[in-house]
Amino acid sequence: MADRLPVIVFDVNETLSDMTPMARRFADVGAPEHLAPLWFTSVLRDGFGLTAAGAQQPFAAIAAGVLRTLFSGLDLTRDTDAAIEHVMEGFGGLGTHPDVPDGVWALHDAGFRLVTLSNGAARVAEGLLTRAGIRDRFERLLSVEDAGAWKPARAAYAHAAEACGVDLADTLLVAVHPWDLDGAARAGMATAYIDRTGAPYPDHLTAPTHTVTALPGLAQRLS
């Protein structure tokens, strides 16, 4: 990797997209906003559990299924199916974090090949990056749906490297999620942690190769 630029593989949900508006969707249907992070974490729990058990389900199916469980027993402002639909629709209108366009432009201008690899559907990334005006900076938008396993299983990262025609050692994962960086590191990738919140990086997961507080800092770190 010392002799050539790594292919930069971006996580999508929360790393590129700002998911804070999802909490408002919970409030809209009469559910507490603090259920939004519990929901997202529960989706990952079930997705990773299935992966650990050798199985796989689409992100959207798990996301809707977890909502049905979380909404059980709540006094919602609309029926459960409509409430689930309202929250799920929120995914289709998210924006990127303010630092993302500048960071993507800087990395693209520096000559890096850029792709995304999401546990969600590729069309969600397609919409997000198109709305932000940066879709054309990305060579490919990949989903674990074509990998046979969710991140952080090695097969998910290997799928991205293979799709780009490079070895895992010639790739670098960018994410805000320590579990993702840990899996990527175990698969042999370099890693970059975007630390937008200042929360301590957990000791129980592999430390990242690089840490920056916003995406534009990464181009500087890598050049």
CB of 105 to its own copies, least distance (A): 30
- The C-alpha atoms of residue 85 and residue 78 are separated, in whole angstroms, by 11
How many residues at the interface with its own copies, by CB under 8 A? 45
Judge whether 119 and 59 are in contact, CB under 8 Å.
yes
Smallest distance from its own copies to CB 166, Å: 20
Longest dimension (CA), the chain: 59
Kindly state the smallest distance separating residue 28's Cβ from its own copies, in Å.
19
Please identify, using beta-carbon distances, which residue of 60 and 166 lies nearer to its own copies. 60
User: Does the footprint of its own copies cover residue 37 (CB under 8 A)?
Assistant: yes
Determine, following the binding rule CB under 8 A, whether residue 77 of this chain makes contact with its own copies: no
Q: Does 148 bind its own copies (CB under 8 A)?
A: no
- 141 scored as a contact of its own copies (CB under 8 A): no
d(CA 85, CA 64): 8
Smallest Cα–Cα separation from 94: which of 193, 15, 176, 195? 15
Check if the beta carbon of residue 188 is closer than 8 Å to that of residue 169.
yes
Distance from C-alpha of 200 to C-alpha of 94, rounded to nearest angstrom: 26
Give CA–CA dist 150/114, Å, rounded.
20
Judged by CB under 8 A, which stretch of 127-135, 148-156, 158-166, 213-221 contacts its own copies?
148-156
Residues that bind its own copies (CB under 8 A): 32, 34, 37-38, 41-42, 44-46, 48-55, 57, 61-62, 65-66, 68-69, 72-73, 149-150, 152-154, 178-179, 182-183, 186-187, 197-200, 202-205
